[in-house]
Amino acid sequence: MPKALVSSRSFANIVSVGAEMLTAAGFEVRRIGPEERPLNAAKMAVIVSREQPDVIISGAEPLTAEALAACPNLRMVMKHGVGIDNIDLDAATSLGIVVANAPGTNTKAVADWVIGAMLSLLRGICTASTSTRAGKWDRFVGRELGAMTVGVIGTGRIGVEVIKRLRGFGAEVLSYDVVQNNELMSRHDVRYVSLDELLGASDLVTLHVPLMEQTKGMIGARELSCMKDSAYLINAARGELVDEDALHKSLKARRIAGVALDVYATEPPQASPLIKLGNVLATPHIAAYTYEAMEHMDRMCAETITTTFAGKRSPNLLNPAVLGDSP
């Protein structure tokens, strides 16, 4: 019986369909317990060596070359999510381990969170709620999203969904991406500009690029200085896209108005000074967490695993050459 080791916090935790599908297909599903968390690279290597799984269903924990090589039976890593910056893809490929992710499964959920964060920032909803619960009756005067210029950095799946929602509000949209989407420009009246122009002209800036060497720290002190002092930054992509020290200094000095963060360079971010600032809206990496997204994601993970172990290829494999010439 093949063993599926679940290191993801969310797989089969919010909905049960993924685990049920794997069990029905003859897999033994084993979850890493809360007593072993948080999971770092060394701990993952120890657990993989101990459990000897055939497939790992991964969350955000690091899967280094050491961890991947700790089990000679390991055939597959299935990311319960989209971004694979925590997985050493080159090491997996050299070890003959196929890696897959679940693209498109959380796109709408994340886009909804981004719009919700924008509205919360513009209207001071969280601050107003705290004030009212404290017995006050203050008037909070906000701004309308439809009157704003919004800069969308990255026009992949999630960026496009955010833009669709913004157009419904009537907001002007500026975009920046190394690859431009011509259909997006014609259908949704989106204008591509340079990064500096976007930062300087936008009332809200939202990040939707993958974490890679070229994007790590792409929003630093210089970029933050380009933004209006009335502007807001939203990050539901990856914490490492932003220089958090520079962001903290900008927020503390009110060089930008505020930020909404769902992701952090270190998670959980209890030691981060950012979450202590009053102009920071902070949530615990939940943008993708809806029942609909989790069901879609769990189902895709289970289907991809069972298809791969049956000797077939799924379109969401990231290194299909590992499987050779199999159909």
Which positions are annotated as active-site residues?
238, 267, 285
| Collapsed DSSP state (helix, strand, coil) of residue 251 | helix
HSE-CB for 122 with a 13 A CA cutoff: 18
HSE-CB for 179 with a 13 A CA cutoff: 6
- Report CA-CA distances (Å) from 303 to 83, 140, 165, 229: 19, 49, 30, 48
Dist. CA 206–CA 236, nearest whole Å: 8
Dist. CA 121–CA 166, nearest whole Å: 15
Dist. CA 119–CA 210, nearest whole Å: 24
Q: Which residues contact 187 (CB under 8 A, 6 or more apart)?
A: none
Whether residue 207 contacts residue 259, with contact meaning beta carbons closer than 8 Å, is answered with no
Whether residue 227 contacts residue 200, with contact meaning beta carbons closer than 8 Å, is answered with yes
Whether residue 27 contacts residue 4, with contact meaning beta carbons closer than 8 Å, is answered with yes
Nearest one of 117, 121, 77 to 101, comparing CA atoms: 77
What torsion do the CA atoms of 98, 306, 51, 265 make, to the nearest 10 degrees? 60
For residue 167, the 8-state DSSP code is H
Angle separating helix axes 291-309 and 107-123, nearest 10 degrees: 150
For residue 25, the 8-state DSSP code is T
